[in-house]
Structure 1
Amino acid sequence: MIETTTAHDFSADALDALLVSHHIRLNDQQRRRLQWLGSRFGMPVLWDGPDAAIADSKLIIVLEPPSGPRAELFFRSLHAGCIVVIPFGENPGFDFLKSKLIDFGTVGATGWKGPHEMWWGGVSWSTVMPAAGDRQLPRVASCYPRDCGKDHIRPLARSLTTLGLDFDIEVIDATTPGQLLGSEKADFILKMWQKHTRPILWVEADAEMIDLPHLPASLDCDFAVHKWNRWEMSTRTLYFGRSPAAEAMLQAWLCFASTYPAIWEGYVLDQAWSLISSQMSLDTVWLPRAYHAMRGDQDPRRRPVVAHSVETTTADLGPELNFPKTLQSARRASRTGAPESLVVMTAPVQPSQPVTVILRDIQSAGARTVAASIEAVTQAFADDPGGFSHMELSLCPWQDDVKAATSVANSANHRILEIAPSSSVPSSLFRTLADSIPLAPGNVVALAARRESGRNQPELLPPA
């Protein structure tokens, strides 16, 4: 039976004890977010099955993914004020449960101290909507091509002035007449971020601010974006906080957009998010539709914050028809997905050889078992990288994911190691791999399954 709590029952020491007793490894940013939630909604409780009573509990941690009827029963037991936290949110086994809830945020992985993606969401955005004046409002930034003329930005400038918001709207000499490239947007936002000391809220110049944008600043996140159709990252409304992770996100977006100017800017932003989330604990908020209202939206119950002057269609948002289907599924669940890396670690010394670890067959193992394998691999690399320059770990539920991850690793000239959740991962894993028979980059080595004899040294199987 789960006892109900209030925010007054919360204590940081009790939270630490709960995490340790249930072997939940969080990095500093993830713990900060969970502590922030606990200070508002009370001590978290663990849900471990359909018979566990949630009652009036407001903050619930789920460690194993319920499927089918169990997920439905769990969802029906939630009240509007509930927050659900999934510490192992990178596991696709949780996707079905997430699909029944609203995504509020994802806090990315970082190294061996916290190699998981923590997801949090709930039934209604009203649960976490801030009171007016909770935090200083962001500075609004926008720019437009010179040939569009000043009339293009009058509604936005007028609405920002009426609301009393500080803003910068500048004209630029765009490369393409009447259109901003993704690199031009990213470059402008980065300059505004470097110029000012407050968070930056970017909105398209043809938009209009209807209400004060309290939400992203009150949640104190690194990055906030709206996902159109729950998977397409839209560049029409973006928030960047005052953190190294936010700056890294901007730098990565600018670099990708400049390198690949012909690729749809939403996809480039998406890939920058994936890259930074695998290396830094990027605290992302998935903005509600109120921050991305479109012309023609007719819902009197939902007062928009930002209204965009485009029709309610996907034509303006997702022209990239080749967006991988596997990544669409991953983004709907607000996580990274194969062949992307869940976590990237760099060795203190910089030799030349990188290594990719593919954790396969995760659909047949429990979430805790998969999480333990992730922690063991990252801990092993932290203990002894074995002469490898950096390590990338990808989760691959299906064989098609394995093939995709292998192809990416081959193209990057990586050594490749395949393991399953049933494999034993000793601290000497990477040293043993480096000292094994000479292998050309791209040849796949597999780690033998765990044996009852309790051997300390891994058994590396020859290339497939």
Structure 2
Amino acid sequence: MTDETHENLDRLLQSDGVRLGRAQRDRLDWLVEQCGAPIHDFSECRRSGVIILKEPPSGAAAELFYRSLTPGCAVVIPGGENPGFDFLKSKLAEFGTVGPCGADGPHEMWWGGIGWSKFLSTADSSTVRPRIVSCYPRGGNANAAFVLRHSLERFDLTCHIEPVETQLRDRILCFEKAEFMMRMWNKYREPLLFVEAGAVLREAPLLPSFLGCDVALHKWNRWEMSARTLYLGRTKAAEMMLRTWQQLAASYPTIWEGYLLDQAWSLTSSQTPLDTVWLPRSYHALEGDLGAMRATILHDQQTTTLELGPDPGFAGIARAARRAGRTGARDAFMVMTSKAETGTGIAVILRDVSACDAGAVAATVEAVTGAYAANCGGYGRLELSLCAWQDDVGAAREAAAQARYRILEIAPGQRIANDFFAIHRSDEAVMTARHLFP
């Protein structure tokens, strides 16, 4: 990117009041290099460029906007945590998300387009090549590993495929896979691409390394995270997610790996600007798929819906949010910590976000995070949740109560002063004193 283009982008973001963290700005710069300068007039979408959306188009406007896009365009939503953008996202191919960056970049950046063709066609130019890793049950059928290894021979890719001890003879449990991935992370220095044994590589899987992300995975049915194809870049954020997944898997060894991967992603992306790529179907194709002939990675077994975890309501709660590449109401959108010695946490619930314009919601998020950064009020941890409906508020309250957090419920547009948390802490102390000494 030239200095002039960089300066023009700076001015555009500043004039629009868009705040991005370092990781988010790096991704936006990369997109501008690949697709071209930002497009100011949507009538220009017939050519390549980056479109930055602050407010969600609805109804016919969203349809017209979608039809105006070309494969050379990229759509960037700096406030992607807002469910008001979900309708537009459902029409687009979801490329990735970059998690919030604290008070400096207190929003989730979402990016997508009308298809992967542009990036898939240029991915072969990637100079960074991943190490393919895989494992299979020791004592089980080793033919699956042979099939994968044989398909790798035509590509200039290093690999590590090994048998591992398992509790079940014919199946690897989530904690066993996570432990294997942790060993591979410590053993090698290249980015890692886990591919399930039995899969066949039809093309060199270079898209994730070309995109330079922290993690890349596929969501089948657009919301259920799959660990059959999992990329980890050599970054601290990727390591954080891997360790979180391993810890969850060790704590809940019988729970399905997709559920635990989902929770590891949600926890990590709320605490660090995790740069996630949602891999296209060609990286998770199944035998019998209509697009199997164009697959990069072809898996040999159909994916089945297993028990998603201890909470039978999880599927309903998470589905809409995960399809839009964001956390749901029960999961904190963003977590911030302070240097306060107290372990007390506070949960701030921002309600009615679908009933207000995106600008008001974004301004309130920025005010809350800015106030906490300026004066935490003695709270060691802030968890911020965005809720579209009253049911979401109830789920967020229940989650906060289970964590024994103080709970504050606010609305978009509400005035948030820099001493907001200090005042709440003081009011809380007064109420406690009245309770103890009536």
Give the Cα separation in 1 of the matches to 2:3 and 2:34.
Answer: 10
Give the Cα separation in 1 of the matches to 2:407 and 2:363.
Answer: 20
Return the structure number with greater helix share: 2
Query: Alpha-carbon deviation of 1:185?
Result: 0.7
Give the Cα separation in 2 of the matches to 1:68 and 1:284.
Answer: 28
Query: 1:315 matched to which residue of 2?
Result: 304
Q: How does 1:61-460 map to 2 (within 5 A)?
A: 61-129=52-120, 130-299=122-291, 303-311=294-302, 314-315=303-304, 322-438=313-429
Q: Is the 8 A contact 1:67 1:97 kept in 2?
A: yes
Q: Is the 8 A contact 2:270 2:333 kept in 1?
A: yes
Query: Alpha-carbon deviation of 1:201?
Result: 0.1
Q: Which of 35, 43, 62 matches 1:41? A: 35
Deviations 1:314-366 (A, max 9, x none): 42667556433131000101111101111100012331210000000111111
Give the Cα separation in 1 of the matches to 2:77 and 2:28.
Answer: 10
Give the Cα separation in 2 of the matches to 1:416 and 1:109.
Answer: 21
Amino acid at match of 2:300: S
The 3-state SS of whatever aligns with 2:135 is strand
Distance change (3 Å), C-alpha of 1:387 and 1:94: same
Deviations 1:126-151 (A, max 9, x none): 12222423222100001111121322
Q: Is the 8 A contact 1:415 1:440 kept in 2?
A: no
Query: Alpha-carbon deviation of 1:177?
Result: 1.9
Give the Cα separation in 1 of the matches to 2:358 and 2:45.
Answer: 21
Question: Could you tell which deviates more after superposition, 423-432 or 191-200?
Answer: 191-200
Give the Cα separation in 1 of the matches to 2:428 and 2:288.
Answer: 64
Query: Alpha-carbon deviation of 1:305?
Result: 1.1
Amino acid at match of 1:67: S
Query: Alpha-carbon deviation of 1:39?
Result: 1.4
The 3-state SS of whatever aligns with 1:339 is coil
Q: Is the 8 A contact 1:353 1:390 kept in 2?
A: yes
Give the Cα separation in 1 of the matches to 2:313 and 2:168.
Answer: 23
Amino acid at match of 1:153: A
Query: Alpha-carbon deviation of 1:209?
Result: 1.4
Q: Is the 8 A contact 2:308 2:314 kept in 1?
A: no
Tell me the TM-score normalized by structure 1: 0.89
Amino acid at match of 2:35: F
The 3-state SS of whatever aligns with 1:424 is coil
Give the Cα separation in 2 of the matches to 1:77 and 1:326.
Answer: 33
Give the Cα separation in 2 of the matches to 1:164 and 1:396.
Answer: 47
Amino acid at match of 1:145: P
Give the Cα separation in 2 of the matches to 1:420 and 1:46.
Answer: 31
Q: Is the 8 A contact 1:93 1:367 kept in 2?
A: yes
Q: Is the 8 A contact 1:135 1:214 kept in 2?
A: no
The 3-state SS of whatever aligns with 1:400 is helix
Q: Is the 8 A contact 1:358 1:418 kept in 2?
A: yes
Give the Cα separation in 2 of the matches to 1:339 and 1:440.
Answer: 28
Tell me the TM-score normalized by structure 2: 0.94
Query: Alpha-carbon deviation of 1:161?
Result: 2.1
Q: Which of 8, 13, 19 matches 2:7? A: 13
Q: Is the 8 A contact 2:349 2:384 kept in 1?
A: yes
Q: Which of 4, 18, 24 matches 1:24? A: 18
